[in-house]
Amino acid sequence: MSKTHFGFTQVDAGDKARRVRGVFDSVAPRYDVMNDVMSVGLHRLWKRFAVDVARVRPGHRVLDVAGGTGDMTRLLLDRVGPEGRVWLTDINGPMLATGRDRLADAGRLVPVVRCDAETLPFPDAAFDCVCVAFGLRNMTHKEMALAEFRRVLAPAGRLVVLEFSRVWKPLEKIYDFYSFSVLPRIGKAIARDADSYRYLAESIRMHPDQETLAALMRQAGFGGVEYFNLSAGVVAVHRGWAS
C-alpha cells in the first residue's frame, strides 16, 4: 500500500483521512476560539483578504471546500448577494454541523454537503469560484483535489487557496519555537488536546511551499496562477483561473 505523511509520521495513504477526521472530531467544539487565540485574530484578516482575491460578484455560485465552521462561507455570502449561492462543504460531520448551526443562528441558510474534496458530488462547470481555506494541507491526494476543483469550475472561474505556507527565512526559528513549543500547550489548555495542535504544526511543515503549490495548480490545468504572501509567508493565498 502506498504511504503518505500525517504530520511527520509516515502512514498508509488509506489511513490518513481517518486520522485527519480524528483531529477535527476532537477540535470541532473549540475550533473557533482556538483559531482566534493561536493566530491572535489574524485568521480573520487572512480570510477577508482571500475573499477579496476571489473577486466574487453578485450572482456567483461559490463552493466552499473544507469549509468547516463556515467562516469563509459567511464572508462569501456577503459578496454573492441574494441572487448568488454559496455551498458549505466538508468531509467532517461535527465541523459541518457547527458551521451550519452558526450560519443558521445568524439567519443565513445555505446548502450544506458532507463530501470529500477528492471526489466532489457536483457536475462539471457548476461554480464560478471554488475556495479552500486551511483545508488542502489535510488532503491525502492534493493533485486529485485540485483536478476536482478544476472540473467543477465554469470557464473563467477561479480557485482560491488560503493555506499555511513557508515563512520568511529569518523568522523560521521563532516560528518553529511558537509552533512546536507554544502551540501544543495552548491546544492542551484550551482544547484539551495537545496532539492535534502538534499535528497542525507538523502538517504545515509538510505542505508544499508557495512555488510548489503554484506548480501543482498549473499541472492541474489552472492558468494565470499567482500567489500573495501574508504575515511574512506564514500563510499564502493562491489564485488560479479555469480557462
Binding residues for ligand SAM (CB under 6 A): 20, 24, 66-69, 71-72, 90-92, 95, 116-118, 133-135, 138-139
Q: Which residue is nearest to ligand SAM (CB)?
A: 68
Measure the CA–CA gap between 71 and 208, rounded to whole angstroms: 24
Q: How far is the CB of 192 from ligand SAM (least distance, A)?
A: 18
Report whether 116 contacts 91 (CB < 8 A).
yes
Complex with ligand SAM: residue 173 or 238, whichever CB lies closer: 238
Measure the CA–CA gap between 199 and 197, rounded to whole angstroms: 5
CA distances from 92 to 25, 77, 157 (A): 7, 21, 26
The residue written with cell numbers 467543477 in the block is 152
H helix runs in 61-171, sequence order: 71-80, 93-105, 142-152
Q: How far is the CB of 143 from ligand SAM (least distance, A)?
A: 13
Complex with ligand SAM: residue 192 or 243, whichever CB lies closer: 192
CA distances from 176 to 5, 59, 164, 180 (A): 19, 43, 13, 6
CA distances from 5 to 8, 12, 14 (A): 6, 8, 11
| Residues 156, 120, 158: CA angle, nearest 5 degrees | 20
Complex with ligand SAM: residue 61 or 207, whichever CB lies closer: 207
Nearest to 234 by CA among 172, 192, 187: 172
Complex with ligand SAM: residue 14 or 223, whichever CB lies closer: 14
Complex with ligand SAM: residue 12 or 243, whichever CB lies closer: 12
Complex with ligand SAM: residue 89 or 155, whichever CB lies closer: 89
Q: How far is the CB of 69 from ligand SAM (least distance, A)?
A: 6
